[in-house]
Structures are given as structure tokens and as C-alpha cells.
Structure 1
Amino acid sequence: MSERLSSPVSEPLPVEFALAAAPVREAVTKLGGQPVWLEEPQWPLSRRTGEPLQFLGQFTLDGGALGYLFMADGDAEGTFEPEGGENALLIQPGGRTPDFVSVRAQAEGPTVGADHLPRPAGAGGTDPDGHAWQFLGGPGIEPRWLQGEETPGEGWRLLVQLDSGRLPFTVDFGDSGVGYAFTAPDAKEGRFLWQCL
């Protein structure tokens, strides 16, 4: 039996993101605001336009690292592709910048909105069957796919699953879309993709 099949799968806990009382300057999970860089800033650029991508949020990883999530704003063309150059999940410290991502040394740039911090979701955090669509990843946490399975590769781990209908601001994941962020088996590289109905 493979390790993946024999590993216990945990039921994810639904989360929502609440407006922070002030700008968040700590290395914690958050949506919006500006990145809290752990190394030199590396703002990713759109492959199509060359402009800075919009910062969606940062998410804690084991060992104190952060995954920084960016996506092109407005036109959703190519943002659903994990290696299309219109989104990026960068890891610091010690991460690798994927070869399909170009970066610029700038600390601040376009953002999806004000800082929001995670908290357990209320009654509206699950669908009528009791399943969560927005949650943080971790050991034993598997994505809940809208369409077919699209894990980037063997051993890649879910970092976060984001439901566009439950976010505190508008993001274009298509029609009722869900975004999926993953880290490589060595946690040095990331991928992001989204699916919609």
C-alpha cells in the first residue's frame, strides 16, 4: 500500500478571513496588505504584461517559512494555470523561484485589499453536506476538487484552499471558483491553480 493511501486523511476545518485592526507586520498567515518578507523582496511579474502581480496573501509553513501568493488582477486569462506565469507562490527563506516566474526587487506593490487574518468559520463555512471549501492545508489535509484532481506532482502538499465566494474581497477564480496552493515535497517551491464550475 502506498504511503499516501495508508496515511490518515484529516477533515479540514473551515476558515474565514476577518479584517485586521491594523496593518499586519508579522510573519503570520494573512490575506491582503503587503508581504512581510523574510529575505530580500521578490515581487513576481506577469508573463503577459510585465507588470507586478497582485498580492493575495501569505501563509505559514513548517519551520517558520512563508508562502507568498500572487495573481494577475482583472483579466483571468492564464491565472488558472500553475505554470502559466500569471500567478506565483514564492517561498522564503531558502525557496527556489520557478523558471516560469520573473521577479523584481520591490518590497510593496498591488494588493487585493486590506490585511485580513484567519479565524474558524461560522455556520456558513461549509456547504449543505457539511464539507469545507476554504481551509488551511497541513499533514493529512487533502484538497477538495471542483473538477478533476490536479495536484502538481507526487508528494506536493496543500498549503491552502481558497473559495472565491467566501473571500473578503473579489478575486477572479472564474465562476464560483476555488484556488489551490501547493508546496513541493522539499517545501522550497510552490504552485497555484484554480478551478471553477
Structure 2
Amino acid sequence: MDHVNISVANNEEKGANVDFDYSQRAQWLRAAVLGANDGLVSVASLMMGVGAVKQDVKAMFLIGFAGLVAGACSMAIGEFVSVYSQLDIEVAQMKRDHITNHDQELAEKENLPSPFQAALASALAFSLGAIVPLLAAMFIDSYKVRLAVILAAVSIALVVFGAVGAVLGGSSRVKSCVRVLVGGWLAMAITFGLTKLIGSSGLQM
């Protein structure tokens, strides 16, 4: 009977450790995966949109670089504000609970979300994703080859990011990769198509 109790206790402890690992990953994983995918898809879509009406490699690179900087700043600020709001709520809840035990208070504070870490993770992840289409396009003069290389590089990166996010998050890799890949393709296709339509309607650039 004691052996059974010990086994059950060990299994519960292992389960608790697994849950703890995933809960600790949740904050930075969400910021990193979303940031990387946003950077990749946003900047690639911007470059494809410009490529729909302008074949100059310099124009595509400049719009992509501007998208990288603006997007990284936007992600960092947005994540900072969001996590800081969450932090304020949790601190207020701690005060309402009247925590008096010093050790417990320190433990609670250590588990609080960090707005600065979340903002930095978002900015870096967005930049990591955004740099993929920039590097894929900056050295290719041929317009059609450039678009094909951007599409190929972005597709590979989407699959990689989807797989990494699935592995770290404990979800299905196939579903995650397909979902991310199809979403990225749709974003680029819609941006390219609408920009091409507007450009062909007589708008001069």
C-alpha cells in the first residue's frame, strides 16, 4: 500500500513539474512566437505589396526595413503596456489578499510578469522574423526571382517557427505548421493582390 502511495505521489509530482514548466514558458513563448510570426508575415507582406507595383529592389528593401523598425517598436510598446497592466492587477490582488508572510510575499513577487522582459522579447522576436525576407531580397536584382526567393524563404521560416512553437508549447507540430504557413501565404497573397489592383487602377507612384 505504501508503495502505491509513493508511486502516486511521484506521478503527481511529475505532473506538477510538467505543468510548472509550461506555465513558466507561457509568457515568453507567447511573446516570442507571436513576435517572430508577426515580423515575418508583416514585413514579407509589405515587401510583396511594394513588389506588386514597383520592381526596384531598393524600394522593396527600404519598405521592409521601415516595417522592421516600426513593427519592433510597436510590438515592444504594446507588449510592455499589456504586461504592465497585468502586473498592476496582480499586485493589487496581492494587496487585497493582505499577504503578511515575508517569504510568501517574495515568492509571489518573483512570479510576477516582467514588462521589460516581455517588451524586449517581442521586439527581438519581431526583428528575427522580419530580417528573413530582407536578407532574401536584398542581393537579388531579378524581379521574378526575388519574389520567388522571398516566398520560399518566408515559407521555410514559417514552418520552422510553427514547429518550434509547437514543440515548446506541447502542441501538434503538423497542425501548427500548416496553420502558420497557410496564414502567412494568405497575408502575402491578399497584400500583393490588393496593392496590384490599386496600382493598376491609375494610382501613380
TM-score w.r.t. length of structure 1 = 0.23
Higher relative contact order (CA 8 A, sep 6+): 2
Which has the larger helix fraction? 2
Which has the larger strand fraction? 1
